[in-house]
Amino acid sequence: MIGKDEFGDFCLKNWREGREHVYVCWCCLTQGKVFMCHIKPGFVALVTVTLLLSIIAYTYNFSLRPVTFPLSWFNYANQTKFYNVVSEGLSGKRNVWNFFTKKRNETSNTETKPTASIKTEDNSIDKYVAHPRNYHFILDEPDKCKQDPFLVLMVPVAPHEVNARNAIRSTWGTESSVQGKAVLTLFLVGLTGGAEAQQQLEEESRQHRDLVQSNFVDSYFNLTIKTMVIMDWLATRCSQATYAMKVDSDMYINMENLMTLLLSPNTPRQNYITGYLMWNQPVIRDKNSKWYVPEELYPESRYPTYVLGMGYVFSNDLPPKIVEASEAIKAFNIEDAYVGACLKRLVINPSGAPDPSQFRTYVNDPKSTDLSKLITAIAGSPEKVIEFWQNVKGHK
Ligand SMILES: *[C@@H]1O[C@H](CO)[C@@H](O)[C@H](O)[C@H]1NC(C)=O
Ligand SMILES: *[C@@H]1O[C@H](CO)[C@@H](O)[C@H](O)[C@H]1NC(C)=O
Ligand SMILES: *[C@@H]1O[C@H](CO)[C@@H](O)[C@H](O)[C@H]1NC(C)=O
């Protein structure tokens, strides 16, 4: 009974009782996007059994009353809309388990109030300005592209995630020449929390010469700023590259396959962007969602076609165009959809990959998936980045 509700969440079960729907939903979200993930049978069984038991217990205790779903079991008030348990992964990815009830009449949206919601960020949207003109580089590598790279991989990463950077430095980040073409990998971070963290970062920068730092507050909410700063860096420091890729720090990349795609005579060298395509995605209007975007920032109810933020490849003529287009487009906090909005203004359509299965999200079982055929997939952690890499290199 897996269905899809109007938020795009995949729902495992759907009870209908009186005027209310009750869903137990499960989804993996990446920077605001929802896609189905591997459902662990054990967890499904546990949730199902627990719910069945509570229904039985409830009907048994109150058998003289009409049966209604035992909302009290979740320990929240009847007006609650969402209860999110948010755990943060690398590079701002979150796994969210939503336990929520939904009023059948969705127009009651405005009067629903959350009673339980784990929130750690102040989404102060008024002050949200993404245009890179507002920021400057603290750490820079202005001469890196003098080596005339063919492809530059830009990895947004939080300042403290040194393990994620080291995993990449020891795996796909080491590949500086692929099929005879020069490849460069750089990390983009925002401000650190304090002087000591900044010193460590600068030491790391001296050692590896692969860090670019800009002076915006580094947070999940500010990912759009990070992406636009990446575009700005490519436009102003690296215009000689032919292609660039924005790729999250917990991704597996197969450089050979990526290069094969880019060197294919069918792959355009201008106005080209490809990855995992997202069509017709609804804008989340629930104020308690991490991906909430108010109508003032983005009035339409659906996003234009965009490529999922985990890893997208583009011809390097696009960064200056995207930065320019962004002047006219109000920033909102969903970075990949924002790039989609800029592309729409430029009248550039994201391209599907020749083999879409090469851009994967979660790989449930790396042993049964032939990683050697992919271009990119979510590994999920520094350890997995290394494990995926070794799987492929070991098979050669
Ligand atoms: C549940 O809803 C009823 C009717 O809308 C209301 O009177 C009651 O106060 C609500 N309970 C809680 C705990 O909010
Ligand atoms: C939903 O709410 C609207 C506005 O309050 C109302 O006009 C409509 O009749 C309601 N629909 C149902 C099915 O209750
Ligand atoms: C986003 O970055 C701006 C600029 O650094 C900062 O003023 C704002 O507080 C940040 N917002 C969040 C939620 O981190």
Residue 20's contacts (CB-CB under 8 Å, 6 or more residues apart) are: 69, 101, 102, 103, 104
Residue 16 sits in the same domain as residue 49: yes
Residue 178 sits in the same domain as residue 300: yes
Per-residue pLDDT at 26: 41
Residue 220 sits in the same domain as residue 341: yes
Residue 55 sits in the same domain as residue 89: no
Distances, alpha carbon 147 to alpha carbons 205, 233, 316, in Å: 19, 16, 16
Measure 217 CA to ligand 3 centroid, in angstroms.
5
Domain-embedded: residue 141: no
Domain-embedded: residue 303: yes
Residue 270 sits in the same domain as residue 162: yes
Q: Is 49 near ligand 3, meaning CB less than 6 Å away?
A: no
Q: Which of 45, 63, 81 is the last residue of a domain?
A: 63
Kindly indicate the confidence band of residue 39, based on its pLDDT and cuts at 50, 70 and 90. low
Residue 108 sits in the same domain as residue 186: no
Pocket test for ligand 1, best of 69, 79, 103 (most atoms within 8 A of CB): 79
Per-residue pLDDT tens for 61-103? 554 444 434 333 333 333 333 333 333 333 333 333 222 223 3
Residue 124 sits in the same domain as residue 158: no
Per-residue pLDDT at 59: 66
Number of separate helices (H) and strands (E) present in the chain:
8, 21
Residue 253 sits in the same domain as residue 278: yes
Domain-embedded: residue 11: yes
Q: Is 122 near ligand 3, meaning CB less than 6 Å away?
A: yes
Per-residue pLDDT at 53: 84
Residue 39 sits in the same domain as residue 86: no
Residue 14 sits in the same domain as residue 157: no
Q: Which ligand has the shortest distance to the CA of 104? A: 2
Q: Is 224 near ligand 3, meaning CB less than 6 Å away?
A: no
Most confident of 13-22, 40-49, 108-117: 40-49
φ, ψ for residue 347 (rounded to 5)?
Answer: 55, 45
Measure 333 CA to ligand 3 centroid, in angstroms.
11
Residue 230 belongs to domain with CATH number = 3.90.550.10
- Report which ligand 3 atom has the smallest distance to the Cα of 123: 13
Domain-embedded: residue 263: yes
Q: Is pLDDT of 380 > 50?
A: yes
Per-residue pLDDT at 16: 35
Q: Which of 41, 63, 85 is the last residue of a domain?
A: 63
Mean pLDDT computed over every residue of the chain: 78
Range of the domain at 251: 147-394
Domain-embedded: residue 251: yes
Q: Is 192 near ligand 3, meaning CB less than 6 Å away?
A: no
Residue 8 sits in the same domain as residue 108: no
Q: Is 110 near ligand 2, meaning CB less than 6 Å away?
A: no
Q: Is 77 near ligand 1, meaning CB less than 6 Å away?
A: yes
DSSP symbols for 21-89: EEEEE-EEEETTEEE--PPPHHHHHHHHHHHHHHHHHHHHHTTTSPP---GGGGT--TT----EEEEE-
- Give the number of domains in the chain: 3
Q: Is 221 near ligand 3, meaning CB less than 6 Å away?
A: yes
Q: Which of 43, 63, 83 is the last residue of a domain?
A: 63
Residue 55 sits in the same domain as residue 78: no
Domain-embedded: residue 188: yes
Q: Is pLDDT of 48 > 50?
A: yes
Among 28-37, 265-274, 355-364, the minimum mean pLDDT is found in: 28-37
Per-residue pLDDT at 277: 96
Per-residue pLDDT tens for 193-248? 899 999 999 999 999 999 999 999 999 989 999 999 999 999 999 999 999 999 99
Per-residue pLDDT at 218: 96
Percent of the chain with pLDDT over 90: 58
Residue 363's contacts (CB-CB under 8 Å, 6 or more residues apart) are: 252, 369, 371, 374, 377, 378, 379, 388
Domain-embedded: residue 347: yes
Q: Is 333 near ligand 3, meaning CB less than 6 Å away?
A: no
Kindly indicate the confidence band of residue 130, based on its pLDDT and cuts at 50, 70 and 90. confident
Per-residue pLDDT tens for 269-326? 999 999 999 999 999 999 998 889 999 889 999 999 999 999 999 999 999 999 999 9
φ, ψ for residue 112 (rounded to 5)?
Answer: -80, 140
